[in-house]
Amino acid sequence: MEVHVEDTLGALFIGALITMAVYGITTLQMYFYYMYFPRDEWVVKLLVALIWILDTLHVIFMGHALHYYLISEFGNPKAQVYGIWSLFTSIGINILMAFVVQCFFTQRIFQLCPSNKRWLVSSIIGFTVIAHFCFGMETVALVFVKREFTRLKEVSLIAALPFGVFAILSDVFIALALCILLHSNRSDFSDTNNLINKLIVYAINRCLLTTVVAIVEVVTFIAVPNSFYSFAIDFIIGKLYANSLLAALNSRKTLRGNNQDQSMSTELSTSFNITSVAADNAASGLVNVRSRQSAMNDRVDVDIADKDSRHTTIQTGTSTQKSRRSNAGYI
């Protein structure tokens, strides 16, 4: 089958441009994480560093592949027939990065689940995550063996198709489990429900983006295996997994900030009303009404995964619920 430059080098170049832009976002998110959350546990800090290192290695191998096809072997049509080792290695790095990110979310689901269901739910999700990783590594091994792009279609049914299916299933199961667990914590208080709704939206968005890209990558690999379109898409999907993890960690600042703003707004409103009605007895009136206001109105204080916390605290009215589900903000 004839190979066109637009389908090979053109696709690779465009994919690399988009990938570098997303890599810049990854680096920026990593900077924000270390700046805003210096008290996080060292394990989480190490995880963020590992993700960024893997992402950087992927960019290096991607750059090597581009240099090979566009500079070293420029004008050599035979070079476009075979895949360079760095191109295939970059796929393996993305698979490893996706595996680490999915394991992180699976571990959070294990902590959020009730004790009588956590092993069942985590085992189902863990199976899809491990299958995704294993079929992905099998795909990488086979493309190293085949090398010729015209022979990559032989890999489709053996490994690439199961790899794509389990990539989709693992992301969907993770998002579904997070949504169900969060929805089960809804209460009669609007502030609590608003916070939970935001967390659910984050979980769905994370799943939706990676799932759509995974579907497009698998379909492209099967439909046009002798082109570079699937490799260009694979360049991008690894960055999406990295950003999904960092966005989940950094979203804690936004959620916590919104919650503090709501508490301050309620407090200022109460203070203004009391001082205007009873200026002669403002001090005692302010204290009494603040106490009543705290008991009557919705108030939600969420402690989302600080260094020393081992639980998530949700305070509604006068009752405080302390959950053993640590790090609930990591979604």
pTM equals: 0.76
What lies within 8 Å, CB to CB, of 135 at 6+ separation is: 159, 162, 163, 166
> What's the pLDDT at 146?
82
CA torsion angle 234 130 203 58 (round to 10): -30
CA pseudo-torsion sign 100, 102, 108, 111:
negative
DSSP state for residue 71 in the 8-state scheme = I
- The encoded tokens of residue 80 equal 């476009």
Stretches in the chain below the pLDDT threshold 50: 1, 261-328
Collapsing DSSP to helix, strand or coil, 314 comes out as strand
DSSP state for residue 6 in the 8-state scheme = I
- The encoded tokens of residue 281 equal 């007895």
Q: Which residue do the tokens 């579907």 mark?
A: 215
Q: Which residue do the tokens 């790899």 mark?
A: 163
**273-305 pLDDT, tens digit each:** 433 433 344 333 333 333 333 433 444 444 334
> What's the pLDDT at 269?
40
Query: 307-330 b/e with 16+ CB inside 10 Å = b?
Result: eeeeebebbbeeeeeeeebbbbbb
Q: How many residues does the chain have?
A: 331
Measured CA distances, 252 to 89, 107, 198, 199, 280 (Å) = 34, 18, 11, 10, 42
Spatial separation of the C-alpha atoms in residues 288 and 309, rounded to whole Å: 31
Measured CA distances, 300 to 196, 202, 243, 314, 331 (Å) = 11, 19, 28, 6, 19
Question: How big is the chain by its Cα radius of gyration, in Å?
Answer: 25
- The encoded tokens of residue 183 equal 């929805």
Q: Which residue do the tokens 């072997």 mark?
A: 73
> What's the pLDDT at 50?
97
Q: Which helix (H) or strand (E) holds 320?
A: strand 319-323
> What's the pLDDT at 132?
95
CA pseudo-torsion sign 281, 287, 288, 293:
positive
What lies within 8 Å, CB to CB, of 37 at 6+ separation is: 249, 250, 252, 253
Spatial separation of the C-alpha atoms in residues 6 and 12, rounded to whole Å: 9
Ordered structural domains, the chain, with CATH: 6-253 (1.20.1070)
- The encoded tokens of residue 13 equal 């170049």
> What's the pLDDT at 331?
58
Query: 49-58 b/e with 16+ CB inside 10 Å = b?
Result: eebbebbeeb
Nearest to residue 297, comparing CAs of 258, 255, 263, 257? 263
Spatial separation of the C-alpha atoms in residues 64 and 14, rounded to whole Å: 15
